[in-house]
Structure 1
């Protein structure tokens, strides 16, 4: 089982948590039009611990394919990978709602397939819900899951799992037809029972229209500051990668700081300055 009691007294990865009540899916749904929802991706226990006090939602994104595994896209990510990382993030968080991405191929065939996959995610991770990419076509699946007790977050606009059909990662909604379709997609997913919708890589005016058109929170990523919340890939906003999408703001240069620290370590090892007297054990008299 993924649920296990960890010894917070001895494990460096699991310090004793500050007591706080975990947010719920209904609490997130009720934030529509209120305080913006803060959402970031998390894939590991330690990162979840660092993000948790500041976030409302932690997304275990299938972006872990590129970020963690160095894969060329999200398409090769498996359900087992998502479950392993989902359980790790749940173990490292006490406050945020944890949502796990359903990977490509785990839900598209039928509502029954989606329920089988999602029920595994829920049972084996302890997460609060799942996220699925797609619009009107996916609405019956969203309704099937939500009626059976599985909270679903939708994802419209630039849907990375459909990158082959879309022809790339460009902004969506520039043509009138695409604009209307994405708006219809968002409405359909919300009407089917999703508790929130991610709008990714859409032109600002469309993002604002979606936010006004649906009764559940719209989380923007490359969308608009007027959305009900924002999400980014944490490693992108921390400056861990040289190349990032246009919509990412780098809030730090963590890659540069890590590189500098490792360079200092390497220099001290080579000069035998490390380990010093404070890092070695003296023999007893």
Structure 2
């Protein structure tokens, strides 16, 4: 062993932290954006280091953390708690938090108070569900310096009203309603739009016709600006080993083509594989994951 210290290898330059202008620039040059849900500091660090661009503190924590059958029981206080934890763990990723059920629907002023609580906890943007009737609220928040991500298609907070977890916008009339709603939300100043469980052709059309919106698909095909999955789904942790997973979900801990008994990937490896697949366009595969 040499008594002379060897120079340390040069560290690669850290990724610059994502902010809204930088995300817009990336989207404009055609870079796909990779988003995952996240609920605590440890996973925030892991997802961030593995290259996730955006972390979403989703009210899906009601399902995957609390064991609820829907997102409806989640409170604003719980969302702020998990937002603060994720903000402590992430470094480069952009952080979006859901406004939970019952905290923004009654008035723009109610939405502002709820959004302020989440921004103070560390969110860089808030997300709300619903169609064009939320445009007034979106405009009210944006004018007051709070970036907004909208959410159309399957909106889990309205699962009882829409009759379950099913694809939205299949017929011409329903597709036109979604396009009109997306247009109203874009005009109100929404920066992002999550499109959940909508036909691939419709999601692509919305993305092309409204370039000011960065669209994030989940069960919406490959034509969106980026993709999002619930982290637990992406890691194959939900529903049990023999449960039927939604068509749009892929278990990234499994290497395609390997036998079931083969060792799987670690969590950091699986997240990196997801990010790579979103970036290179291999996920989602329209034939397998689209509608």
Q: Deviations over 1:174-213 (max 9, x none)?
A: 1111100011111111111111111000011111111111
Pairing 1:207–2:208 present: no
Once residues 166 and 105 of structure 1 are traced to their aligned partners in structure 2, the CA distance between those partners, rounded to angstroms, is: 17
Query: In the alignment, which residue of structure 1 is the partner of 2:96?
Result: 99
Range with greater deviation from structure 2 (66-75 or 239-248): 239-248
Pairing 1:36–2:37 present: no
Once residues 166 and 128 of structure 1 are traced to their aligned partners in structure 2, the CA distance between those partners, rounded to angstroms, is: 30
Give the gaps of 5 or more residues in structure 2: 1-12, 255-261, 265-291
Aligned pair count reads 239
Give the gaps of 5 or more residues in structure 1: 1-17, 259-285
CA RMSD of aligned residues (A): 1.8
Tell me: CA distance 1:88–1:56, structure 2 relative to 1, closer, same or farther (3 Å).
same
Which residues of 2 match residues 123-142 of structure 1 at below 5 A?
Answer: 123=120, 125-142=121-138
Query: In the alignment, which residue of structure 1 is the partner of 2:250?
Result: 249
The alignment's TM-score, normalised by the length of structure 2, stands at 0.79
Once residues 74 and 249 of structure 2 are traced to their aligned partners in structure 1, the CA distance between those partners, rounded to angstroms, is: 23
Which residues of 2 match residues 90-239 of structure 1 at below 5 A?
Answer: 90-123=87-120, 125-214=121-210, 215-239=212-236
Q: Do 1:20 and 1:94's aligned partners in 2 also have CA atoms closer than 8 Å?
A: no
The alignment's TM-score, normalised by the length of structure 1, stands at 0.80
- Rg larger for: 1
Once residues 178 and 20 of structure 1 are traced to their aligned partners in structure 2, the CA distance between those partners, rounded to angstroms, is: 41
Once residues 64 and 57 of structure 2 are traced to their aligned partners in structure 1, the CA distance between those partners, rounded to angstroms, is: 12
Q: Do 1:172 and 1:178's aligned partners in 2 also have CA atoms closer than 8 Å?
A: yes
Runs of 4+ that moved beyond 2 A: 18-21, 29-33
Pairing 1:27–2:22 present: yes
